[in-house]
Amino acid sequence: MAQETELLYRTVPWDESLLQSAGKKAAGPLFDVKSSDEAAICQLHLPHSETEDALLLDGLLSVVHITDEGLSILEPLEVTHTHVVVKVPHLSLYGLIIDTFKWLIKRRIKGQILVFLRTPSGEEQILDVHLLQNNVHVEEHVFLSAETDGIKGKHITQLKDLLR
Q: What is the pLDDT of residue 162?
A: 37
pLDDT band at 157 (very low <50, low <70, confident <90, very high): very low
pLDDT digits (tens, 9 = 90+) for 47-64: 887 766 666 667 778 899
User: Residues 123-131: contacts with CB within 8 Å, 24+ apart?
Assistant: 131/162
Select the more confidently predicted residue: 127 or 164.
127
What are the strands of the beta sheet with 24-35, ordered from one edge?
7-12, 24-35, 93-99, 61-67, 70-74
Task: Report the alpha-carbon distance of residue 65 to residue 102 in Å, rounded.
Answer: 20
Which range has the worst mean pLDDT, 74-78, 79-83, 144-148? 144-148
Task: Report the alpha-carbon distance of residue 84 to residue 74 in Å, rounded.
Answer: 11
Please report how many Cα atoms fall inside a 13 Å half-sphere around the Cα of residue 135, on the Cβ side: 14
Q: What is the pLDDT of residue 154?
A: 40
Residue 21 has pLDDT above 70, yes or no: yes
The answer, as to whether pTM is greater than 0.85, is no
Q: What is the pLDDT of residue 64?
A: 92
Q: What is the mean pLDDT of residues 130-156?
A: 58
Map out the domains of the chain as residue ranges: 7-104, 108-163
Q: What is the pLDDT of residue 119?
A: 74
Q: What is the mean pLDDT of residues 151-157?
A: 42
Task: Report the alpha-carbon distance of residue 138 to residue 132 in Å, rounded.
Answer: 8
Q: What is the pLDDT of residue 27?
A: 87
Distances in whole angstroms, Cα of residue 91 to Cα of each of 17, 76, 126, 153: 22, 16, 46, 44
pLDDT digits (tens, 9 = 90+) for 85-142: 999 888 999 999 988 777 666 655 667 787 877 777 778 888 888 777 777 776 665 5
Class of residue 159 by CB neighbours under 10 A (exposed 0-12, middle 13-18, buried 19+):
middle
